[in-house]
Structure 1
Amino acid sequence: MVLKRCRPCFSLLACAFGPASPNAPATARLTNPADLTKFRKGKEQLLEKQVAQLAAAYINVVVVWGEIDEKTLTHADKYGIMVIQVNSRREMVYLSAVLGTPLMPYLLPPLEPGKCQRVYGQELVQGLAVVFEWECPGTPALTLVLRGATTEGLRGAEQAAYHGIDAYFQLCQDPRLLPGAGATEMALAKMLRERGTKLGGPSGPTFLAFAQALQSLPETLAENAGLGVSEVMAEMNGAHQAGNFLTGVGVEGIINVAQEEVWDILIAKAQGLRTVADVVLQLLTVDEIVVAKKSPTHQQGLNPDPKKAKEQASPIGKKSPWGQ
């Protein structure tokens, strides 16, 4: 079923699409067969009336988190209402936020129904997916379909997608970039090392230690790539000493990050450096570290010496000095 002619209007139901509490205990007092027939017809008329209220509110798509009654589904088909069943509350909450309509605890139309351009079903490899489509520029949601041969590959692709979305969000806040592949850390280490050699007192060793810590990142990249760490670091030091601050570590050796288009986000890099500096300052303000040690427990021997056991006087065998 595809809704194209009229714009889909949604109602999200966090209840069963049918009679309210069908498994609840109830006692119907019936005296004759006519009362039974009237009771059944009244129940069906109530369900049809509730579905008619949805249609009167221009609701043509109902998303249900619960059971779907067959008779109520027949009434929905009669009024041209598309019924979609969702098995996860998380998906319902997500649809409520995207469509801009609240979750209804009863079979009633919402005050503000959700809207989109088109709703249709699309077959995937393992089943059928329901697609909510927006054709306007400001699309409130986006779905990525990832496919892979193994579960580990799919997890890696999903993690990469999350990282890409996070990077795009950070670039929307600050579009500035920095050279990646360890080039920025190497350039900062060079500047701090030059400054630290000129300073005296405790400031000089502090700058040198910070420079050495920053230099550990390109060393780690070279080690993870299976390269010779000493050779790669020697080449990087020579390039940065010559003023080529765009030299980084690649898979096969040193690379030009501008040509390879390897960049880091400025806001993420700055936040990481601030966090590291704050942690170092907190550690330096600690005067003493108190370590609580447990006292050693003396274990008694499992097989004591029988001679020593006999020599120990038993409190029961001792005589009282008063002769009792």
Structure 2
Amino acid sequence: VERNLQDSLHVVRNVMINPRLVPGGGALEMALSREIEEMGAKMDGIKKWPYKAIGLALEVIPRTLIQNCGGSTIRKMTELRAIHAQNAENWTFGVDGTTGDLVDMNKLEIWDPLAVRIQVLKTAIETSVMLLRIDDIVSGTKKSTGGERQEVMPQ
């Protein structure tokens, strides 16, 4: 009970500090995914692949909500993409976490604090960058025959 009360107080504090809210249920992530993939489609060559990868990564939130509700992931995700692609005003459509239906989050009054969503995105990007740096470090070394690592100089 104490933990739930503390969490509730932190939510209220965050909303008081930054009162802006965004629709929940994966609606924001789907809208961002669509916009980022559209930006990537305008790029040429391999420059568009990071945009596509980020767009797919953002779809994890609504996909997970659908799976947790026992819905058909492929059908619901396809339907949600179609709803978001039809009209720019449909960006508030997301997944009802109880039934798995796709509904307008404004009508259900399901909201997330904007500050929390921004922090989630920042943390995801920072984690990705950190993993890429670690990968660069690991791939920049190779084992010698004696079991010691040697630095490989990039050319």
In which range does the TM-score fall when normalised by the shorter chain?
0.7 to 0.9
SS of 1:288's equivalent in the other structure is: helix
SS of 1:166's equivalent in the other structure is: helix
In the alignment, structure 1 residue 164 sits paired with structure 2 residue 8: yes
In the alignment, structure 1 residue 279 sits paired with structure 2 residue 127: yes
SS of 2:19's equivalent in the other structure is: coil
In the alignment, structure 1 residue 288 sits paired with structure 2 residue 134: no
In the alignment, structure 1 residue 248 sits paired with structure 2 residue 94: yes
In the alignment, structure 1 residue 176 sits paired with structure 2 residue 25: no
Question: How far off is 1:284 after superposition?
Answer: 2.5
Which is helix-richer, 1 or 2?
2
Which amino acid in structure 1 is aligned with residue 125 of structure 2? A
Quote the RMSD (CA, aligned, Å). 2.0
Identical counterparts, % of pairs: 29
Structure 1 unaligned residues grouped into runs of 5+: 1-156, 293-324
Structure 2 unaligned residues grouped into runs of 5+: 144-155
Misfit runs of 4+, over 4 Å = none
User: Equivalent residues in 2 for 1:232-247 (5 A)?
Assistant: 232-243=76-87, 244-247=90-93
SS of 2:103's equivalent in the other structure is: strand
SS of 2:137's equivalent in the other structure is: coil
Which amino acid in structure 1 is aligned with residue 21 of structure 2? L
SS of 1:245's equivalent in the other structure is: helix
In the alignment, structure 1 residue 198 sits paired with structure 2 residue 46: no
SS of 1:199's equivalent in the other structure is: coil
Greater relative contact order: 1 or 2 (C-alpha under 8 angstroms, separation 6 or more)? Answer: 2
Measured against aligned partners, the alpha-carbon deviations of 1:214-265 in whole angstroms (never above 9, x if no partner) come to 0011000000011111111122111101121111101221111001100011
Question: How far off is 1:165 after superposition?
Answer: 1.2
Question: How far off is 1:164 after superposition?
Answer: 1.7
User: Equivalent residues in 2 for 1:251-266 (5 A)?
Assistant: 251-252=98-99, 253-266=101-114
- 1 CA distance for matches of 2:59 and 2:50? 14
Question: How far off is 1:266 after superposition?
Answer: 0.4
SS of 1:181's equivalent in the other structure is: coil
Q: How many residues align?
A: 137
- 2 CA distance for matches of 1:259 and 1:291? 57
User: CA separation of 1:203/1:217 partners in 2, compared to 1, >3 Å: closer, same or farther?
Assistant: same
SS of 1:278's equivalent in the other structure is: helix
Q: Which has the larger radius of gyration?
A: 1
- 2 CA distance for matches of 1:291 and 1:219? 39
Give the corresponding residue for 2:52.
208
Q: Taking structure 1 as the reference length, what is the TM-score of the superposition? A: 0.40
User: CA separation of 1:158/1:259 partners in 2, compared to 1, >3 Å: closer, same or farther?
Assistant: farther
User: Equivalent residues in 2 for 1:55-74 (5 A)?
Assistant: none
In the alignment, structure 1 residue 222 sits paired with structure 2 residue 71: no
